[in-house]
Amino acid sequence: MKLDVNAVRNDFPILQQKIYGKPLIYLDNAATTQKPNAVMQAIVRYYETLNSNVHRGNHLLSIQATDAMERARNRIASFIHAPHPEEIIFTRGTTESINLVAQGFASSLLQPGDEVIISALEHHSNLVPWQQACLRTGAQLKIIPLDESGQIRLGDFRNLLSEKTRIVAIAHVSNVLGTILPVQDIIDLAHRRGIPVLIDGAQAVQHLPIDVSQLGCDFYAFSGHKIYGPTGIGILYGKGSWLEKIPPFQFGGEMIEIVSFEKTTFNEIPFKFEAGTPNVEGIIGLAAALDYLCQIGLESIFKYETELFEYALHKLSRLDDVRIIGRAKDRCSVISFLLDHIHPYDTGTLLDQMGIAVRSGNHCAQPLIDLLNLPGTVRVSLSFYNTREEIDILITALQKVKDIFQ
Ligand code: PLP
């Protein structure tokens, strides 16, 4: 079914806002997405009817809240086709999900001389945790280089894999270039040598169908707030066999089995990794966001986004003095560019004054921006609630920015 963008926009109250008296054009969806009424209502309903602590009370409200939370876990598992709900760990976001795995590896699975492979286009959240894990253990970080288009060089990746490699951690979609990485090839190549693969899906899960069973990845991380859910909730999918092997990352209530003054044994997965009171409203809100997306239809959403992306790319490429950064064949949602010789911060600030929200800077990927020898980029990132008219207004606004600087 064709997506009705006007109907969709009515589901997002914030899109009716004015910024400096101009209609808001929100093109910073890679940073965070806006929330539909369905998510906000689910959170309000939770506080109005269910609020209580989970997994500990034996009163009705606590039992109902626990049921709602565990139903949400099932919902999230089915959304990414995880075979078992206990393979879904609730975290605060992609960053915490990756830290959980990196610290787990640093505690027990990395030795001096071992190697961890990431790519040159990683977000700091899939770089710094591994850098720290290597520092702690004497392991070495290996970087897959990029080709001129902004895609990873698969041949170089193959050459980096060795008997020293302990894990490969890689983005599914680049938050700077929009490149879709060949994750299936990466997983297959790594698995041929028995090496596990973590996928940072922060920029993928909201734009591409994700099937972790089919991919066969060992870990998949994403954030609720980037997929129309609340902030402060994230997901780590991990294969049960790996989650059993990794030690817990935080300690305290809920993650224990038996505690004495001398010793503690830990709960089973997923609870072993969920110390303290979880973000119940966030979990319920995230499940509501996934329900909302499925109700609209994932296929309609992805088709609409692909067409809008092509439209925006075409329009931007035709504008004089726009230099698009990253030209990989497989891309989605994110377009980075520079306008003439104008600093990206200046472009971003002037667009803001015209009601257009974009992101400018290094997008938490400093090593990539340095590698490309850029001052940063202006980044437009799209959602299914954006329209062609908004892109047209952006193009006119960029022309105005150029005129101001001339
Ligand atoms: N990985 C990628 C590719 C991202 O784009 C982001 C956020 O922009 C993150 C990780 C970190 O996500 P969060 O801040 O929600 O933990």
Please give the domain boundaries of the chain with CATH numbers for all domains: 5-30+297-405 (3.90.1150.10), 40-294 (3.40.640.10)
Q: Any idea what DSSP says for residue 374?
A: -
Ligand 1 probe mutation, 175, 176, 205, 363, most atoms within 8 A of CB: 175
Q: What number is the average pLDDT over the span 369-378?
A: 97
The answer to whether residue 364 is catalytic is: yes
pLDDT band at 106 (very low <50, low <70, confident <90, very high): very high
Q: Point out which residues pair with 142 in neighbouring strands.
A: 117
Judge whether residue 1 has pLDDT over 90: no
Q: Does 122 sit in the ligand 1 pocket, CB within 6 Å?
A: no
- Token look-up 């799209």 returns 382
| Mean of the per-residue pLDDT values of the chain | 97
Q: What is the C-alpha radius of gyration for the chain, rounded to an integer number of angstroms?
A: 22
| Cα 264 to middle of ligand 1, angstroms | 33
Q: Are 238 and 79 in contact (CB under 8 A)?
A: no
pLDDT band at 79 (very low <50, low <70, confident <90, very high): very high
CA-closest residue to ligand 1 atom 12? 94
CA-closest residue to ligand 1 atom 14? 95
Residue 254 is predicted with a pLDDT of 87
Residue 71 is predicted with a pLDDT of 98
Q: 157: number of CA atoms within 13 Å, CB side?
A: 27
Instruction: Order across the sheet with 115-119: list the strands.
Output: 88-91, 234-238, 219-223, 197-200, 165-171, 115-119, 140-144
- Give the pair of three-digit tokens for residue 361: 């800077």
Q: Does 171 sit in the ligand 1 pocket, CB within 6 Å?
A: yes
**CA 283 to CA 91: how far, in whole Å?**
10
Q: Which atom of ligand 1 is least distant from the CA of 231?
A: 15
Q: Does 223 sit in the ligand 1 pocket, CB within 6 Å?
A: yes
| Cα 324 to middle of ligand 1, angstroms | 22
Residue 57 is predicted with a pLDDT of 76
User: Which residue blocks in 174-260 are alpha helix, DSSP H?
Assistant: 183-192, 212-215, 240-245
Judge whether residue 406 has pLDDT over 90: no
CA-closest residue to ligand 1 atom 6? 202
Q: Which atom of ligand 1 is least distant from the CA of 171?
A: 3
Judge whether residue 112 has pLDDT over 90: yes
Q: Could you tell me what percent of the chain has a pLDDT over 70?
A: 100
Residue 127 is predicted with a pLDDT of 98
pLDDT digits (tens, 9 = 90+) for 341-357: 999 999 999 999 999 99
Q: Are 304 and 298 in contact (CB under 8 A)?
A: no
Helix, strand or coil, per DSSP, at residue 194: coil
My answer on whether omega of the bond before 209 falls inside 30° of 0, hence cis, is no
Q: Are 319 and 380 in contact (CB under 8 A)?
A: no
pLDDT digits (tens, 9 = 90+) for 195-220: 999 999 999 999 999 999 999 999 99
- Beta strand pairing call for 322-325 and 356-357: unpaired
Q: Does 97 sit in the ligand 1 pocket, CB within 6 Å?
A: no
Q: Which atom of ligand 1 is least distant from the CA of 92?
A: 16
- Give the pair of three-digit tokens for residue 185: 């090839």
H/E element holding 74?
Answer: helix 60-79
H/E element holding 75?
Answer: helix 60-79
Q: In angstroms, what CA-CA distances link 209 with 2, 14, 355, 404?
A: 17, 26, 32, 42
Q: What number is the average pLDDT over the span 64-81?
A: 97
- pTM of structure: 0.98
pLDDT digits (tens, 9 = 90+) for 280-336: 999 999 999 999 999 999 999 999 999 999 999 999 999 999 999 999 999 999 999
Q: In angstroms, what CA-CA distances link 172 with 13, 93, 330?
A: 30, 16, 11
**CA 346 to CA 353: how far, in whole Å?**
11
Q: Does 29 sit in the ligand 1 pocket, CB within 6 Å?
A: no
